[in-house]
Amino acid sequence: MALLFIGLLAVLPVQQPLADACGPSTQGFKGYSFLSPGSLGPEIQDYPVLLRFQDIYQFYIDSTVIRQKEGNISEWVSRTCEDAYPADIHRVVYKVSVETLELLRTSILSKNMPLPYELTNNTFAKYLKRHRCVQTVDYLIFAKRCEPHVIAQGAWEEKKRDVPAMEALIEEGVDLFKKADSDNIRLRYAYQVVRLAHYAKLYDRAIELYDYLLPKLDVPIIEGKKSLIYYWVLGHKAGALRALGENVEASYLYSLIFQQCPTRRASAYQSFFLKNDEEWTQCLLRCQSDEERATLYAIRGSATDSKALEEMKMIYELDPRNEYLEVLLVKEIQELEKDLLGLDFNNNRLYNKRYYGRPRAFAGNYVIELQKFARLVREEEKVARLDLWFLAEGYLELLAGDYYAAGKTFETVKDILTNKALKEQLQVFMLVQQIYALDVLNDSIEQMGYKIRRNKLFSKYKDLPDLLRDKFTALYEENGHPGKAFRSQYTFRDLRMNPQDEVIKDLLQVAKKPSPNNLELLLLKDEQGNTMNSALWDMWSLLLFQDYQLEAALSLYNNIPNADWDQFGTFHPFRVKINDCINCLEERDTLDQYNRGELLETLIDLEYKAKAEFDNNAIYYYRIGVALYNCSYFGRSWKAMDYFRSGATWNNLRKGDVQPYGKAPFGNKEVLNVNRALGYLELARTNAKNPELAARATFMAAKCERLLYYMSDTYQPPPCCNQIPALPEDFSVYYRHLKKDYAETRFYQEVLKECQYFRAYALK
């Protein structure tokens, strides 16, 4: 819906900087547009219109070049009385080699020689042979020889020209022009030689050739219009004039091309350039008709971010039924949409203001002026399509904030519309008006929002969901519903990245309602349509678990039916491995497999036993410490205390446990805290009566201590080569304990054998 106006390159003219179109991100301007280009009607669908910047390159390659080829082939078809297929013409004109064309020429001159093998079944080649079109083939051979001199090898490099060779071809082409019998072929020779002179930067020669050759032929008329090749030649004359600084004459010619030749309209717009008002006045004086003058005003009014009302008024005065007037109307409305739509609730309004200067300072007054002009045009009834102007009048009232007047206009215009596209456009505008009318928050309003979502046009117009989302987000925020506001914009996956207490509580309040409305029920479902009631209890409990509030976490978890506990994952938090492996497959032994609820119950039980059984508490402290380590970001059971783990966090440990990630609004939170695990492992070590248990606790504590070093400000990664970083004295306390106090244990020998990191420390 971001189609605005003609001139694919309205963001690329020489006088216009690229930054205006590119913006600071690939996503560009973040607003809404509901005025469909289909409103202009099928008769203007070929009219190049301003595209969003990300579409420009594709449009320029696929539309401009391909459309030129299609137009050229269409003219060849008309010359063969449709005896040749377009695909066959395309092959002969654009694909075959000079050698094949030479063979075709010989075949035409010889009755007994067949067509070249690759053209055996080609209808165009058959036509040329049947009618003995030697001069046509001579032209095709000449054009093929010119081609290497005028087509660049790469999209972003300037071709090095062989000027002497090009001059020789020019002289040859002029001779062939003189010998040709057909005006069609003569025009094409003129195109080739003028183009060669232009690309060779022989600008005076290009103009001289044009002025010498064109008067010597009658430009072919095809389907009531001059051949497009004529405008191609004219474009190269205009380019030569532009290069010589003749801006006025060049721009006037470009305006003729813009007006008459759709296949070159985009490049003509790009090349149009006038330095000042004086040159503009001179160019205007060259116009021979009101239609030509209207074209100049259309080009001037089409610049990005321009205020085109003055140009629209001039076009209206010159030719009220001119199609450019409607296109400018659409362009101006879509510019005002960027300024005014959702201004109070667009969640990207600060971004748009900072990077795109929207809303423009004059937008509030300008929309009123444009609205008055639309009303005048509608009342005077001189334009080609009164219904479009009537509809635009109502939409401008909506953009100006006069929703009551817009509603009245929409109701009136509804009875006079007959055009299918405009009827749909009206329905879309009325949906926008309904969304704007949602100014309080209650069940009835939410039901209305749900009803709007079910409208058949809701998914067709991609900005309608965004507008409704942003509107309800603002309503929810204003009325103290952070959970609903979050879900209006984001998914439950986004919430799991960093669960927020207030969001979860608000959504649980909705879930507890006896009869949530349809929109609320929708907010409580995930992307697959699953109800998230139990998942919300799981997230809330997880938050408390991360803070080691075990009893409170278990109390919340008991709101989930016990039979459903396994749905939120099972883990092996008490397994001890010397070497950590985050994503390694493990034997799924149910004896030490726990879901989150069972893990909470077990940890609470271990805490109780550690306090109650003083003589045997070391093993309980050890199991708690191991579990807390394994449930951290660094352990193989990290899923017990988190929903998502980013490998990139490892390289940013010193930046904290919450880091930006994707579109998640609160970032991604990782459980990096190993201090609590270290505390329990130290209790296990100091209370252990068994040296083997003490050694195990010491080693696990050393792993925690090493990670604390990685997260400290003193840590500097090794310069290269995956080297093992040396531990400072302050962070190798437990390695010293292990080496000094437990070297005689079996576990010490096991660690020395399996842990390369400790072996490097112990053997140094």
Q: Is 571 helix (H, G, I), strand (E, B) or coil?
A: strand
Task: Mark whether 94 and 23 lie in a shared domain.
Answer: no
Predicted pLDDT of residue 109: 94
Task: Mark whether 737 and 624 lie in a shared domain.
Answer: yes
What pLDDT, in 10s, does the model give residues 350-364?
A: 999 999 999 999 999
Whether the upstream peptide bond of residue 359 has omega within 30° of 0, thus cis, is yes
Cα dist. 703→7, 54, 128, 632 in Å? Answer: 64, 50, 84, 12
What pLDDT, in 10s, does the model give residues 120-143?
A: 999 999 999 999 999 999 999 999
Task: Mark whether 657 and 710 lie in a shared domain.
Answer: yes
> Looking at the domain assignment, is residue 175 inside a domain?
no
For the cut 70, the answer to whether the pLDDT of residue 5 exceeds it is: no
Residues 6+ positions from 75 with CB-CB distance below 8 Å: 222, 227, 228, 229
The beta strands (E) that lie in 139-226 are given as 221-222, 225-226
Look up residue 91 and give its DSSP letter: I
Predicted pLDDT of residue 383: 94
Please tell me the total number of residues recorded for the chain in this structure: 764
Predicted pLDDT of residue 11: 26
Predicted pLDDT of residue 50: 36
Average pLDDT over residues 695-719: 91
Question: How many C-beta atoms surround the C-beta of residue 25 within 10 A?
Answer: 10
Say if CB 124 and CB 84 are below 8 A apart: yes
Say if CB 397 and CB 409 are below 8 A apart: yes
Q: Is 668 helix (H, G, I), strand (E, B) or coil?
A: strand
Which residues in 513-547 are b (16+ Cβ under 10 Å) and which e?
eeebbebbeebbeeeeeeebbbbbbbbbbbbbbbe
- Look over the chain and give the mean of its residue pLDDT values, rounded to a whole number: 89
For the cut 50, the answer to whether the pLDDT of residue 56 exceeds it is: no
Highest mean pLDDT pick, 528-532, 626-630, 649-653: 626-630
- Beta-bridged to residue 664, according to DSSP, are none
In order, the DSSP letters of 419-437 are -HHHHHHHHHHHHHHHHHT
Task: Mark whether 754 and 610 lie in a shared domain.
Answer: yes
Predicted pLDDT of residue 67: 74
Return d(Cα 173, Cα 149) in angstroms, integer: 14
Burial class (CB in 10 A: 0-12, 13-18, 19+), 289: exposed
Q: By mean pLDDT, which of 52-56, 171-175, 466-470 is the weakest?
A: 52-56
Task: Mark whether 24 and 120 lie in a shared domain.
Answer: no
The candidate with the shortest Cα–Cα distance to 265, out of 464, 59, 30, 41, is: 59
Cα dist. 281→249, 251, 324, 368 in Å? Answer: 12, 12, 20, 29
What pLDDT, in 10s, does the model give residues 416-438?
A: 999 898 999 999 999 999 999 99
Q: Is 221 helix (H, G, I), strand (E, B) or coil?
A: strand
The beta strands (E) that lie in 339-400 are given as none
Average pLDDT over residues 618-632: 97
Question: How much of the chain, in percent, has pLDDT values that exceed 90?
Answer: 75
* Helices and strands, counts by H and E, the chain: 37, 6
Radius of gyration of the chain (CA): 38
> Looking at the domain assignment, is residue 684 inside a domain?
yes
Task: Mark whether 86 and 28 lie in a shared domain.
Answer: no
Q: Is 224 left (phi over 0), alpha (psi -120 to 50) or beta?
A: left
Which residues in 124-162 are b (16+ Cβ under 10 Å) and which e?
bbbbbbeeebebbbbbbbbbbbbeebbeeeeeeeeeeee
Residue with the larger pLDDT of the pair 63 and 634: 634
Return d(Cα 2, Cα 25) in angstroms, integer: 17
Predicted pLDDT of residue 48: 39
Indicate the residue type of 24: P
> Looking at the domain assignment, is residue 461 inside a domain?
no
Question: How much of the chain, in percent, has pLDDT values that exceed 70?
Answer: 90
Task: Mark whether 40 and 117 lie in a shared domain.
Answer: no
Say if CB 8 and CB 269 are below 8 A apart: yes
The candidate with the shortest Cα–Cα distance to 326, out of 49, 64, 52, 13, is: 49
Residue ranges making up the domain that contains 41: 1-11+19-50+304-437
Task: Mark whether 39 and 87 lie in a shared domain.
Answer: no
> Looking at the domain assignment, is residue 293 inside a domain?
no
Predicted pLDDT of residue 55: 34
Task: Mark whether 431 and 574 lie in a shared domain.
Answer: no
- 542 token code pair: 């997880």
Q: Model confidence at 445, in pLDDT bands (50, 70, 90)?
A: very high
Residues 6+ positions from 245 with CB-CB distance below 8 Å: none
Boundary (domain end) residue, out of 117, 132, 147:
132
Burial class (CB in 10 A: 0-12, 13-18, 19+), 598: middle
For the cut 80, the answer to whether the pLDDT of residue 60 exceeds it is: no
The candidate with the shortest Cα–Cα distance to 214, out of 203, 226, 199, 223, is: 226
What's the half-sphere exposure (Cβ side, CA atoms, 13 Å) at 751? 28
Return d(Cα 132, Cα 121) in angstroms, integer: 17
Average pLDDT over residues 161-174: 96
For the cut 80, the answer to whether the pLDDT of residue 75 exceeds it is: yes
For the cut 60, the answer to whether the pLDDT of residue 155 exceeds it is: no
Q: How many domains does the chain have?
A: 3
- 479 token code pair: 């009325």
Predicted pLDDT of residue 53: 28
Predicted pLDDT of residue 8: 26
**Percentages (nearest 5) of helix, strand, coil residues in the chain:** 65, 0, 35
Predicted pLDDT of residue 577: 87
Predicted pLDDT of residue 363: 95
Boundary (domain end) residue, out of 437, 460, 494:
437
> Looking at the domain assignment, is residue 160 inside a domain?
no
Return d(Cα 286, Cα 249) in angstroms, integer: 8
What's the half-sphere exposure (Cβ side, CA atoms, 13 Å) at 351? 12
Task: Mark whether 664 and 705 lie in a shared domain.
Answer: yes
For the cut 70, the answer to whether the pLDDT of residue 269 exceeds it is: yes
Predicted pLDDT of residue 152: 64
Q: By mean pLDDT, which of 379-388, 695-704, 749-758 is the weakest?
A: 749-758
- 221 token code pair: 């008329």
Residue with the larger pLDDT of the pair 422 and 56: 422
Q: Is 669 helix (H, G, I), strand (E, B) or coil?
A: strand
Residues 6+ positions from 448 with CB-CB distance below 8 Å: 434, 438
Contacts for 615-620 with beta carbons within 8 Å, 24 or more apart? 617/683, 617/687, 618/683, 618/684, 618/685, 618/687, 618/688, 618/689, 618/690, 618/693, 618/694, 618/697, 619/684, 619/693
> Looking at the domain assignment, is residue 142 inside a domain?
no
Q: Model confidence at 4, in pLDDT bands (50, 70, 90)?
A: very low
Return d(Cα 127, Cα 133) in angstroms, integer: 8
Q: Model confidence at 721, in pLDDT bands (50, 70, 90)?
A: low
Query: What is the separation, in whole angstroms, between the first and last Cα of the chain?
Result: 68
Q: Model confidence at 699, in pLDDT bands (50, 70, 90)?
A: very high
Look up residue 525 and give its DSSP letter: B
> Looking at the domain assignment, is residue 549 inside a domain?
no
Task: Mark whether 95 and 39 lie in a shared domain.
Answer: no
Say if CB 505 and CB 470 are below 8 A apart: no
Cα dist. 622→148, 671, 673, 753 in Å? Answer: 79, 20, 17, 22
Predicted pLDDT of residue 582: 78
The candidate with the shortest Cα–Cα distance to 150, out of 116, 109, 193, is: 193
For the cut 90, the answer to whether the pLDDT of residue 644 exceeds it is: yes
Boundary (domain end) residue, out of 104, 132, 160:
132
The candidate with the shortest Cα–Cα distance to 605, out of 583, 627, 587, 630, is: 627
Burial class (CB in 10 A: 0-12, 13-18, 19+), 74: middle
Q: Model confidence at 63, in pLDDT bands (50, 70, 90)?
A: low
> Looking at the domain assignment, is residue 330 inside a domain?
yes
Average pLDDT over residues 594-611: 97
Task: Mark whether 594 and 698 lie in a shared domain.
Answer: yes
